[in-house]
Structure 1
Amino acid sequence: MDRKIKKYQKILTDFLVAESISKDLGTIELQVITDFKNNHFQLVETGWFEKRFIYQVVFHFDIKPNGRVWILVNNTDTLVAEELIKKGIPATDIVLGFHPAHARQYTGFAVA
């Protein structure tokens, strides 16, 4: 299990770093936040746009102790689950956590 979790940590980190590099938002900073001990991974936008302060979680992933990757936030039009499958995480290990538990059985991904 530890080997799988380390693999998923790398995939998620690499994905978030690539996303942060690919976007130029001017005065808005993209921060990759990784917590390898508790397995939380985020991409956050923060900074000033005109006279407004921006703070938004773009992506948030967790890896649970059972090795499943939970997609908790996706504030983009990217089909992030499909991207993670391409990078080596099987659909059976991806949970769309932003869907209610009763609806996950219809997503084609893991339910929990």
Structure 2
Amino acid sequence: MDNRMNYPTIVKKLLQEYADYYSIEGENPLRPLFDDTNQSFLLLDTNWIGSEYVHHTPIHVDIINNKIWIQYDDTEEGFATDLLEAGVPAHDIVLGFRPPQLRVHTEFAVA
């Protein structure tokens, strides 16, 4: 089944689930940000921990050439795992935060 037309929808749904889950656990909600024009999606964490300001992007995903590029992933289980569970084939997922020479040793796309 070709899910490429649904990739933005799948990514947005998963990011919203992360935001909802962590917003329930903590007092500072995470915000999913969606740029449909540029096919760029991220989860933004801005809050204060004591006197220290936190500005962090735990997940950043782009859709490039009909593939889902995970540009940054600071989750425990891995956003790629969530994508696989959502039905996205491994050959359409790129671990962009890994050097290309290491990507060849994974089950995912190189580019």
Q: What does 1:71-90 align with in structure 2 at a 5 Å threshold?
A: 71-90=70-89
Give the corresponding residue for 1:103: 102
Paired AA for residue 44 in structure 1 = L
| Unaligned stretches of 5+ residues in structure 2 | none
Equivalent residue runs for 1:1-112 within 5 Å: 4-5=4-5, 7-23=6-22, 24-26=25-27, 28-64=28-64, 66-112=65-111
Counting aligned pairs with the same residue, the percent is 33
Runs of 4+ aligned structure 1 residues displaced above 3 Å come to none
Residue 25 (structure 1) shift: 2.2
How far does residue 80 in structure 1 lie from its aligned partner after superposition? Answer: 1.6
User: TM-score with structure 2 length normalisation?
Assistant: 0.91
Q: How many corresponding residue pairs?
A: 107
Q: Measure the CA separation in 2 of the matches of 1:41 and 1:96.
A: 15
TM-score (norm 1): 0.90
Superposed CA RMSD: 1.2
Deviations 1:38-58 (A, max 9, x none): 000000110111111111001
- 2-structure distance, mates of 1:83, 1:32: 16
* 1:76 maps to amino acid: T
Deviations 1:47-86 (A, max 9, x none): 111111111001000000x201001111121222121011
Q: What residue identity is the alignment partner of 1:47?
A: N
